[in-house]
Structures are given as C-alpha cells and as structure tokens.
Structure 1
Amino acid sequence: MKGKCFLSLLTWSLIVLLVLLEAPTGNGSNGRLENGEIKLTVRVPVRDGFPQFVKVVWDPSQQKYTASGYCMDVFNAAVTYLPFNVSLHLLPAAVESSYGFRFDQALQKQIPPKNEVVVGDVTILANRSNYADFTVPYTASGVKMVVPAKHGRDQNMWTFVKPFSWDLWLSIIIISTFIGLAILIMERNVNALPNQEGSPNQTKLGPATILLFPISQAILPEREVVVKGCSRFVLMVWLVLAFVLMQSYTANLTSILTLDQLQPSFLNVNDLRREGYYVGYQGGSFVYDVLIDRFKFDPSRLRPYNNTGEYHDALKLGSKNGGVAAIFDEVPYLKLYLQEYGSNYIMSGPEYRNAGFGFVFPLNSNLTAYFSRAILNVIESGLMNEIEEKYFGEDSSEETSSSEPLSLSFRSFAGLFIISGISTLLALLVSERFIWRRLILMAKALTEIMSAIHLFKKEARTHPIQDSTHGTEA
C-alpha cells in the first residue's frame, strides 16, 4: 500500500514538473511569472526618420516613454492573442550618432540574456539569427531602388506597331493568307457572271492579289467581288474579326500616343555603377552591405540619408550636383517614399530579397514561438490589413510600376481566330464537296483496279497457260 502511494505521489510530481516546464515562466531568457503576468521589457530603437514605422516620445504626465507607429501597432495586436498576460516596460534603444546606429550592433550589445524583446523595423537576416531569435515576419521586404522618372511619350517611327505584339501581327498575317486562299479556291471557277445591267462581269480574283484581298475588304468592302454563298460567309466572318482587331488597335494606339508614360531614368544597377554615379541608402541599415557585397558599388560613391525628405532633396539635386542618382532601400520604406513623392519617381531595378520585419528575442527564448503564433493570428484575422491601411494607405501592398500601355497579344483574340479558322474550313469543305466526291470515286476505282490485278495474279498461279506446240507449260 505504501508502495502504491509513493508511486502515485511520484507520478503527480512528474506531471506538475512537466506543466511547469511547458509554461512560459522560464528562467533567465524566459522571464518570471508574477501574479499571472510576464514582465517583458520592450526595447524600441529611436531614430530620426520614418516615424510611420516606430516613434518614441517622452510623456511627462505619466513620466514614461510611449511608442507608436506601424511596428508598435502590430506588436500590441499580437499581445492580445497571447495565451497569457504580459506586463510591458518600454525602454528606448539609444542612438549613438546620426548614421552610426546599426541594428546588428544594437542586437549584440543591448539585448542581455533576459526577458526582453526588440520591437521596430528590424529586418530578419541570416547573420543576425546567430545571436538573436526572430519571430515569423509580419511584413514582406526586399531591397530595390527608386530613381527619377521621365514624363512623356516614348514615340518613334515604329510606334504604330506597338498596339499589337509580334505574335498577334503574325497571327493576322496567317489568318489573312488562309482566308484569301480559301476564297481563291471557292471562286476559281467564276469567269464571267452577269451584273445588274445584264452585261458580263469580268471581275475575277487572281493569285497575285488574293493575299491582300481580306485586308482590302476590311477597309473598302466590295460585295460584288465574291459570288458564291460560302465565299460571302467566309468574308462575313473575316469582317467581324477585322472589326474587332481594328477597334482594339485604334484604342491601344490612342493610349500610347496620348497617355503620359512614366519611365525610369536608369533601368539597371550596371548603368549606375559603370558611370560612377552617387547613390543613397538609409543610414545604419544593412543596405550598405548589400550595395558593396551584392551590387559591387564603390563605398566612396555611397551616401547615407535618414528620412524621406533627405531622399527627395538628394534625388532632386542629382548625382552631379551633390545629390544622388538613385536611392536604395527596403521596399516598405520606398513605398512610403513613393506615397509622398511618387509623381516624379519610380521603383525600378533588381530586387535583393530578404524575409522581412520581425520581432527580436534573445536566443532560445520560448516566447518567440508564442509571439510567432500571435502574429499569424493577427494576419489571418484581417487586423493586419487595417493597420497597413492606417499608415500606408489602401494600395500599400501594390508595387509601383510604369504606366505604359501593354501591347495586345494573340491570347486576347485566340477565341476569334479559332472561330474564324473553323468557319473558313467548314465553308471550304461545303463549297468543294464535289471534289471530295470525285476523290472518293477515284479511290473506289483505284481499289477495284487493285482487286482485279490481285485476282488475275491469283488465277494465273492456279491455272498456268499450256504451250500448244510442245505440249508443255509455258
């Protein structure tokens, strides 16, 4: 009996120990649980620019710091989805100089092994994960460039072919040739038919003009040129197709000739690097390393800036007047910049991809998993969309691109081409049915001849011819 009681007591002790280990009350890096709450220190980087992401101010009435911005709203929303209560203590992260603050240095120096989290526009990078844990990203990111845009219309002597793509032009040539040949075959026996006055009509389609016949009929229809009903049916189908193509061509050509098109002044990074232009980046950002290691820029050609106003001033001056030719930064910052000054600038160039923004915890903190699940709940609940619209507008998720009209492709009219081709083929089969009958009769005659030859050979082998002179078989 005593053995059973001891075994039960040991079992309950193990269960309680497992529950304590699973609870987010950890030691050291996981904090302490007091009165059902976890005391969590929130470090927020203090920066000069981009207050839309994070902004820290001192509240004299409450004698404490308060933080606001996109990152803080996402963090506060994630806290509401945690399965336990959290007591937050805000602590700003000091900035040593205008451009000397680096998140890599801050994460290494300012996150001791205790229950703390860094909340801000911190990008998840592989080298940073060596000394800190990140939650799942709560926004997409990547490095691109913003360059001044050229307003106007890119017109030249070949502008008239731009409304249609090359595959559509080729398809029009093929269908015109096919319809022209079909009408030539159907009208080949029409030599001279009486016209309305009773005199013979000598109009006849020749091989030299048949390829241009469908196009000429679309522009200047001449109903008396074709006589047979099947030919007129094919011509009617072609005119419907030609009408749709002509209206689409006119509409797209009008857009190309009249709409204001936004074109980047520099199309790729190689142009900037080869010509030795100055380019800008966000001071203290890992973008500096990307420009040197990935895009191979000369460090002497890089200039740091703090906010969208400095970006605008630098781009307005240009590289030759003390400014820059392009600004490299992460996509969320560039979208924010284009929202303010987008009428004269455009996002362009290749993209250096990364995971995005995330919250930072000490290594091996079990709070990372809880906050990651909370971020997923915020995203799936639709609350993330409301937060993004609050700070970046309704179109914050869409990338800025050129407004140049696109050429229409064959795919846009594939159905009409198929209908025209099938209709022309059926009309040709109906019109030339006597040819198929003649071919069938010729095939039957050929079959009978082959059968007769085969039968003759068989009879010759069965009854050989006798030689009457010698009395032997020939």
Structure 2
Amino acid sequence: MLHLVTIGALDAVVGEITITTHRAKIVDFTQPYIESGLVVVAPIRKMKSSAFAFLRPFTPMMWFVTSMFFLVVGTVVWILERRTNDDFRGPARRQVVTIIWFSFSTLFSTHRESIVSTLGRLVLIIWLFVVLILNSSYTASLTSILTVEQLTSSVKGIESLLASNDPIGFQRGSFAENYLTEELNIRRSRLVPLKSLKEYEKALKDGPANGGVAAIIDERAYMELFLETRCEFSIVGREFTKNGWGFGFPKESPLAIDTSNAILKLSENGELQRIRDKWITRSACSSEGAKQSVDRLELRRFSGLYLLIGVACFFALLCYLTRMVYHFSRHSNRNCEASSCLRSFLFFVNKKEGEDNHKPKARQKEKCCCKVLMHEDRSCNDSSVCVHIENNATS
C-alpha cells in the first residue's frame, strides 16, 4: 500500500501502519497515534503449590554459592581469631563445629563467639552487610511468591526464544518477519506465518509437538485484543521494540503535517487515550501478564556483593599472613631448611599468642637454678625451684 502511495496511485494510507525506518524513507508519516512494540505471547499455567516453596526465591546456583561463602567467611574468621581468641581454640572436632556454627549463626546475628582482632571485625562487618541484603531480597521475593497468584510459562521472553529452536508464529505480511530474521538472526525455517486470531489460538494450543508454535511475536495492540477472552495465554517478558502506528502520505505532502497537528491535539486533551480505552479494552485476562511468576534471584544480581566480601577476605588473610611471617622471622632460626622452617612456621601460627614469650623466661630460670646447684650460689630468688632440683639430684 505504501508503494502505491509512492507511485501516485493512492493519496494516503490510513490504518494500523507501523512506522519503520525503511518505510519512513519512501513516505511521510504522521505523528504516531498509538504506541505498539513487539511482544511475546505464550501459553501459561498456574503454578502448583509446593512444600518447598521457601527454596524458590533463589536459584540452585545462588543457594550453593551463598552456602559456600558462609563456610568461607567462617573459616577466614577462625584463622584470624585462632591465636588470640579462646573461643576458636580447642580440639579439632570442636573447632570444626565452631566454624560451622559461627558461619550460619551470622545469618541471624546469634553467634556467641566474640571477635577480638581488627581484621576479624572488618571481615565480619562486611559479611553482616552482605547477609542483610540477602535477607531483605529473600524476604521480598518469598512474600511475592506466597501472596501473588503464580503463573508460569516455559517461554520467559525473547531471550529464551533466541536460545531455543522452537517454532515462532508471526502475523503474515507484517514487518516482524524481517525484524526477526535480520535484526535477531532467527532462521526463517523457525517462523510460521499466521493470518488471524483463530490461527494464533490454534497454533498456541497445539504447541511445537503437534505442528503448532511455542510462542507468537506480534505488536502489543493486537495481542491485547487477542488476550481479551483467552486467559490461557499471556504476554511474557518485556516489550523489545518501540514502534508506533501512523498514517502514510507522499513525500512533502501538506496533509501529513495537518494530520499530525490534529493527532497531537487529540493526545494533549486526552481524547486519544479515551478512544483507545473504549476500543482496545484491557480485560482481566489481557492483564494477566502482570501476575507472572516472580523472577528467581540469580547469582549475577549479587555478584558485586560476593566480590566485595571475597576481596575483604583476601585482604584480611594477606595482612594476617604478612604479620605472621614478620613475627616468625624474629623468633626463628634463619639457617633452617625449607621443610623444617615450614613446620616451625605452622607450629608458630598454631600457638596461642603470648606462649612464645613465656618459654625463654622459663629456660632462663632453669639455667639460673642449675647454676645455683653447681656453684652453690644462694643468690637465686626462686629457692623453691632450686630446692626441687637439688632433691632430684640427690635422689
């Protein structure tokens, strides 16, 4: 029809003509009188209630990574606190239980272990902030799941259609065919042309297994009319184009300007919206798309938080290791072999802070008392220790 305008066979084209870049090169369009981008319509079904509905706010990967970070943070805090905090010392079995208990008790801020080191407090503050965000997101998502009528579809939007090989329906003769093949690179063999709303309904009900389609891509205004009395289908995903409908005139036609001014006046006084509300009525069925199932919280949405706590843990461990190496170098034998130095370093890290400062004093006392025994010098202050050594020597 627009081609007939260009050759002078028609003076204008009036109707639901979608304004596209290619068409705008050959004719002059008026201001759009309605916005109508492409949307995806697919069959939907009500989601059955489950005893494990509390797991649905997070995806499986989100649950796994979150659990791992609880254990990682607990282990990091245990390493940072072990030398200075008696709550994190003891038998190996008790330490493992302490790590697990401390890790998951931070979810409710009920951990009974006190944190005394600066690095440990730094890691814990950042982790509690991450837990606060996770708690709030989980609560909001679970509330939506339990209170909103849940509808689900195997098709989630244009992205899921691009990732699959299912057939897709479209309106025969519309610009959607070229858009899907040229812009979205969908194979033409997947596209099924349909020409009426009844064909839309039949193709969606049959499904891909019976020669139908998985979804239909068409303009929103058409789909709103289609969904008025068909509650088993719904718009899924987002509107992925922004087009409008307008009237077409020959290039430089004064009628295009006059008609655009009339459309703008109707839009400004609200008459255009009243016309749309009257003839394109949104019934209960056509608005079901607002009740789609709440998107599950994915890992990528919280990647920044996990990166933050990961960097904090790495920084704290690096500072702790640097400090331990520095203190160990002051107390160790510099001529030891690599294997013996490593064992000595691990033994040094495992000791409670302050133990290495008492042993030299004890050796000094013992040496003093040995001198007392050998030279019979009674100037030593610790006479009880000297007498104990003398008695042992006599016996």
TM-score normalised over the length of structure 1: 0.45
Cross-structure match for 2:17: 122
Contact kept, 8 Å, 2:225 with 2:280, in 1: the verdict is: yes
Cross-structure match for 1:271: 165
1:137 to 6, 29, 32: 32
In structure 2, distance between residues paired with 1:382 and 1:239: 51
2:224 to 335, 338, 343: 335
Alpha carbons of 1:311 and 1:292: their partners in 2 closer, same or farther (altered >3 Å)? same
Matched to 1:263, the amino acid is S
Cross-structure match for 2:234: 346
Alpha carbons of 1:335 and 1:400: their partners in 2 closer, same or farther (altered >3 Å)? farther
Deviations 1:191-226 (A, max 9, x none): 59xxxxxxxx96799765565342243489563x54
Contact kept, 8 Å, 1:146 with 1:348, in 2: the verdict is: yes
Cross-structure match for 1:177: 72
More strand by share: 1
2:296 to 389, 403, 406: 406
In structure 1, distance between residues paired with 2:32 and 2:301: 38
The alignment partner of 1:358 has SS state of: strand
Q: How far does residue 304 in structure 1 lie from its aligned partner after superposition? A: 2.2
Within 5 Å, give how 1:25-424 maps onto structure 2. 103-104=1-2, 107=5, 112=10, 117-125=12-20, 128-129=23-24, 132-152=27-47, 160=55, 163=58, 170=65, 173-174=68-69, 177-178=72-73, 180-190=75-85, 211-218=99-106, 223=112, 225-226=113-114, 242=131, 245=134, 248-249=137-138, 252=141, 260-264=150-154, 267-268=160-161, 271-273=165-167, 279=169, 281=171, 285-287=174-176, 295-297=187-189, 302-305=193-196, 308-309=197-198, 311-317=200-206, 326-341=215-230, 343-347=231-235, 353=241, 355-376=243-264, 379=267, 384-392=272-280, 402-407=292-297
Contact kept, 8 Å, 2:40 with 2:215, in 1: the verdict is: yes
Matched to 1:260, the amino acid is Q
More helix by share: 2
Q: How far does residue 312 in structure 1 lie from its aligned partner after superposition? A: 2.9
The alignment partner of 2:43 has SS state of: strand
In structure 2, distance between residues paired with 1:154 and 1:321: 29
Q: How far does residue 327 in structure 1 lie from its aligned partner after superposition? A: 3.6
Q: How far does residue 182 in structure 1 lie from its aligned partner after superposition? A: 3.5
Contact kept, 8 Å, 1:163 with 1:408, in 2: the verdict is: yes
Contact kept, 8 Å, 2:130 with 2:305, in 1: the verdict is: no
Q: How far does residue 121 in structure 1 lie from its aligned partner after superposition? A: 0.9
The alignment partner of 2:260 has SS state of: helix
Bigger radius of gyration, 1 or 2?
1
Task: Give ranges in structure 2 of 5+ residues lacking alignment.
Answer: 331-395
In structure 1, distance between residues paired with 2:311 and 2:251: 67
Matched to 2:218, the amino acid is D
Alpha carbons of 1:329 and 1:304: their partners in 2 closer, same or farther (altered >3 Å)? same
Deviations 1:128-181 (A, max 9, x none): 4565321233333444543323443699x9994861685786477447534543
Contact kept, 8 Å, 2:43 with 2:232, in 1: the verdict is: yes
Contact kept, 8 Å, 2:150 with 2:291, in 1: the verdict is: no
Alpha carbons of 1:290 and 1:344: their partners in 2 closer, same or farther (altered >3 Å)? same
Matched to 1:403, the amino acid is S
Alpha carbons of 1:170 and 1:110: their partners in 2 closer, same or farther (altered >3 Å)? same
Within 5 Å, give how 1:430-449 maps onto structure 2. none
Q: How far does residue 247 in structure 1 lie from its aligned partner after superposition? A: 6.8
In structure 1, distance between residues paired with 2:265 and 2:287: 19
The alignment partner of 1:368 has SS state of: helix
The alignment partner of 2:234 has SS state of: strand
Matched to 1:214, the amino acid is F
Cross-structure match for 1:4: none
Contact kept, 8 Å, 1:280 with 1:324, in 2: the verdict is: no
In structure 2, distance between residues paired with 1:130 and 1:232: 66
Moved more, 181-190 or 242-251: 242-251
In structure 2, distance between residues paired with 1:298 and 1:204: 61
The alignment partner of 2:227 has SS state of: helix
Q: How far does residue 325 in structure 1 lie from its aligned partner after superposition? A: 5.3
Cross-structure match for 2:335: none
TM-score normalised over the length of structure 2: 0.52
Alpha carbons of 1:346 and 1:137: their partners in 2 closer, same or farther (altered >3 Å)? same
Task: Give ranges in structure 1 of 5+ residues lacking alignment.
Answer: 1-102, 193-200, 443-474
The alignment partner of 1:333 has SS state of: helix
Cross-structure match for 1:59: none
Alpha carbons of 1:418 and 1:304: their partners in 2 closer, same or farther (altered >3 Å)? closer
Q: How far does residue 359 in structure 1 lie from its aligned partner after superposition? A: 1.4
In structure 2, distance between residues paired with 1:298 and 1:226: 62
Matched to 2:188, the amino acid is K
Deviations 1:35-57 (A, max 9, x none): xxxxxxxxxxxxxxxxxxxxxxx
Cross-structure match for 1:468: none
The alignment partner of 1:315 has SS state of: helix
Higher relative contact order (CA 8 A, sep 6+): 2
Equivalenced residue count is 313
Alpha carbons of 1:214 and 1:372: their partners in 2 closer, same or farther (altered >3 Å)? farther
